[in-house]
A and B are shown apart, each in its own frame.
Chain A
């Protein structure tokens, strides 16, 4: 791995709810190297999107806050950075794109103006903004950028909207792009196009990409390294190749088994027994143990993230999984 531009240690994010404080992100550590594509994988509610929001320190609800940990980005401690400077980092050094491009674009503002916003916020020469916006839209594979820039989001297709959001995110040439399920709301063919676009942007601009997804197909195809999250905690991390060939956490194995493959097409699709735990009252110790075929008494203690094979795994029995 090359030099890390993002280094997160022991991140804890809490959400105040009526039933008490819920840890949506619990002791998560991860790094992203320059030009690297890192995937953060997990089911809905595993805390992967909350991790992404925590990195930006922007939350969809005011009830969420970072309770502990450290976020170092380009050598700077983001948790002690004043809000005003944070705002200047967002969209400039670190940008984010989202799951549903239609709801994350302002419906009453033309696409061009939204793409221009990061530039406007940073004294980009005013007379060059239009040209830059057109250039960005064209590079995102949107033909006829000049007329497209004058249109409103509702006049665009889903794929075009996501491309426009990516254009806005990249307007100031950030070094890190956080993509929160960027293809989930799109058609399958458009999904592939968007992923190819993100990948080519990485190759051309040396962009680092933190890809939040639940789609293991996308991970296998595009990611360099993978973090697997389960119930707000990290379960396993490895390079993509190692993770797919030699998964060490029982949850990772279950996850991989429950995806369709051509060889297994005739068999019934595997599903992990049980349900994802309620984070308001998580199980003691390893959070996966109530659903785990290998669980014993030991699993009531939280296992540390430790080396097993080529992975780092949070499981007492990681050597048995292989």
Chain B
């Protein structure tokens, strides 16, 4: 790879530089969107009952809301640059702390769900492509269609009903048992048990999506000349499938996985609510019901940054898979 590496690193550098202005743009658009939203944050601060005009003006001045929009934007960016995301009124703590507390749980849940979806989806898709037109293919396709049609919050409730309520095999609420004192590996194992049901509920849709896409993409790759060429060299069928066909089929699969990282964050809001998972998604749900604007804004920002990063990573993976991308 020594001849290819400089091109790869140059490509990565360029893509990261391109992502920076995009992130700034996302921040500005997010800020403006919230400004466009109807309602005045002071009503939330003061409450709905009539307050003296003088007091309202005082509160507005205190929070800089009397300043013109460009000034407020600059102030916002300045605070953001210092890592200040605002103050949550509902939780009575800085938003940054609140989010840092919850971020890990969401990254764990969405990360595990997406990894699960990728591994199962790709394997099922390759399997279906290998036996396309046969019974195996039909079973995978039908299961995928079913998985895709069930909303994650409903699937979550069904899973709770079966595995937590009826069978009593798995816990269903939270991330750890309330009275747990476990530490070290025991604690990891405990979180793992709590993770199983929400991860399955969250990943099912993406298992379906990824397996269908993988099937189509691999089936197409299997008809190409280089697969025939590889078979003519006596290459094993497993290697034909996973090295020749899958790698060439990977571009759309990687794109869809990266693209869906943002959707899985949205889906996790519902699943976290169903399973009382202490993550960002549930925090978002709570902050919407409590009209906790600073938290909403901050989560919106986090998700936007997540989407930009996911796209960046997708592009980088594409470049690693396909040497031609690095040179274009």
Contact = CB atoms under 8 A, between A and B. Distances in A.
Contacts of A91: 232-235
A90 interface: yes
Contacts of B235: 91, 117-118, 121
Nearest to A165: B229
Interface string A115-143: 00110011000000000000000000000
Contacts of B244: 106, 109
Contacts of A87: 231, 234, 236-237
28 contacts: A58-B232, A60-B223, A60-B225, A60-B228, A87-B234, A87-B236, A88-B234, A90-B234, A91-B235, A92-B234, A95-B233, A96-B232, A98-B229, A100-B225, A103-B225, A104-B225, A106-B226, A106-B230, A107-B322, A108-B321, A109-B243, A109-B244, A117-B233, A121-B233, A121-B236, A147-B3, A169-B233, A172-B234
Contacts of A121: 233-236, 239
Contact of B233 (A90, A100, A103): A90
Interface of A: 56, 58, 60-61, 87-92, 95-96, 98, 100, 103-109, 114, 117-118, 121-122, 147, 150-152, 154, 165, 168-169, 171-172
Interface in B224-279: 224-226, 228-237, 239, 243-244, 247-248
A104 B230 CA distance: 8
B118 to A, nearest CB: 19
Nearest to A180: B232
B33 interface: no
A118 B243 CA distance: 14
B236 A58 contact: no
Contacts of A92: 234
Contact of B228 (A89, A104, A107, A114): A104
A58 B226 contact: no
A98 B225 contact: yes
A136 to B, nearest CB: 13
A109 B250 CA distance: 14
Given A147-B3, A152-B324, A106 B248 contact: yes
Contacts of A98: 225, 228-229, 232
Nearest to B229: A104
Contacts of B324: 107, 152, 154
A105 B228 CA distance: 10
B2 interface: yes
A108 B323 contact: yes
A104 B233 CA distance: 11
Contacts of B229: 98, 104-106, 165
A89 to B, nearest CB: 7
Which 3 residue pairs of A and B lie closest in terms of their CB atoms, listed nearest first? A91-B234, A104-B229, A91-B233
B1 interface: yes
A118 B232 CA distance: 9
Contacts of A95: 232-233
Contacts of B230: 106, 114, 117
A58 B231 CA distance: 8
A107 B226 contact: yes
